[in-house]
Structure 1
Amino acid sequence: MRDKPTVAIVDDDDSVLDTTKDLLDSAGLSAATFHSAESFLQSEGICAIQCLIADMRMPGMTGLELHGRLAAASTPIPTVLITAYPDERERARALEAGVICFLAKPFNAEELLACIETALRGRDPA
């Protein structure tokens, strides 16, 4: 039997981290939380992360910059970006960069879970 997929949540807002982690736990996923892109990059076990949920706007590195950094380092992780400031140009740029989904806060739980399912399906060997 396979282990539960691990999803990383990177957001500088504690309430978003807590509620998103609770949602993922209730959906049978394992969640790891980080307050910044930098703390995520410095963590052990990045290779075990199967999906990344990152805030678009955070102090320091943005979620899109984090996605780009991982891809440039040949350690791409399917990414869902979330933002409190939805902007169509940023959305288009993110999707062009290979982000799986771009969701506005507050996001719908079913929509987020569908994005994660798409990301995890993409990680499974064909």
Structure 2
Amino acid sequence: MNGNSKTHSPGSEGPVVFVLDDDASIRCALSNLLRSVGMRVETFASTAEFLQWPKPDCASCLVLDVRLQGSSGLDFQRQLAASNIRIPIIFITGHGDIEMSVKAMKAGAMDFLAKPFREQDLLDAVSAALQADVKRREVEQQLSGLHARYQTLTAREKEVMALAAKGLMNKQIAGQMNLSEITVKIHRAHAMKKMHAKSFADLVRMAETLGAEPA
């Protein structure tokens, strides 16, 4: 970690903006700009520093220089993706061209700013990236909770849920599973309760999200 960024503990609250640039003056300027609007910032001089630093469990984004000593920002973008490190990236460069921009955006970059860029353009890009990461994390947390609740279902409750989601009526499900219609209704009610489904339509959406299939 260089001297331009005050070190925060990984448990600090609030979104964080990571700035990765091998030019100390750029790191300082970007850090000062982002901090001036109340953003939390961590700066790094190399990809190794960034990878070694323990990441906080919060929304974040990475402002990344395209050209780094010993590697390129585009290569690092691919490395992060291969390592399943999902973080919105805003590329900055003084040597940008259309081809580099297209490659970065196709690989999932949020934005690509050529120096010199307007300070407001960077602030807008960072704000959009942080908002996108907040939404991604919310969706992942919801999906994680959905999977956890699904695992509390019995095998028969899972099968009833899957068959019901395919549009089968209780009587049809009963015939297919060789159960009584009353038993099917009980399994379906238990599944709805355990999944916290507010309605049958809600349960169907959950089954579709989970990709639930009959055994």
- Regarding TM over 0.5, the answer is yes
CA shift, 1:28, in A, is 1.0
Q: CA deviation at 1:102?
A: 0.5
Q: Indicate conservation of the 8 Å contact 1:38/1:61, yes or no.
A: no
Equivalent residue pairs, number: 125
* 1:57–1:83 contact (8 Å) kept in structure 2: yes
3-state SS, counterpart of residue 91 of structure 2: strand
2:179 paired residue number: none
Aligned to 1:69: 79
Which one of the candidate residues 119, 137, 156 is aligned to 1:109? 119
Find out whether 1:79 has 2:89 as its counterpart: yes
Structure 1 unpaired stretches of 5+:
none
In 1, Cα distance between the equivalents of 2:87 and 2:105?
14
Structure 1 residue runs of 4 or more that deviate by more than 6 Å after TM superposition: none
C-alpha displacement of 1:62: 1.6
- Report the CA distance between 1:17 and its aligned residue: 0.2
Deviation sequence 1:75-120 (CA, Å, 0-9, x none): 1110000001011000000000000011011221110011111111
Tell me by how many angstroms 1:3 deviates: 3.2
Q: Kindly indicate whether residue 104 of structure 2 is the aligned counterpart of residue 94 of structure 1.
A: yes
Correspondence 1:34 to 2:44: yes
Cα 1:48/1:60, change in 2 over 3 Å: farther
Q: Distance in 2 between matches of 1:118 and 1:69?
A: 23
3-state SS in 1 of match to 2:26 = helix
The one-character-per-residue Cα deviations of 1:33-58 (angstroms, maximum 9, x if unpaired) are 10111211122226556100010001
Equivalent residue of 1:92, what SS?
helix
Tell me how far apart the structure 2 counterparts of residues 4 and 117 of structure 1 sit (CA, whole Å).
13
Counterpart for residue 21 of structure 1: 31
Alignment partners' CA distance in 2, 1:34 and 1:13:
10
Which range moves more in the overlay, 73-82 or 37-46?
A: 37-46
TM superposition shift of 1:4: 3.1
2:156 alignment counterpart? none
Between the two proteins, what is the percent identity of the paired residues? 35
- Higher normalized strand content (fraction of residues): 1
Residue 43 of structure 1 corresponds to 53
Paired residues of 1:67 and 1:76 also in contact (CA < 8 A):
no
CA RMSD after TM alignment:
1.7
Higher helix proportion (structure 1 or 2): 2
Tell whether 2:17 aligns with 1:7.
Answer: yes
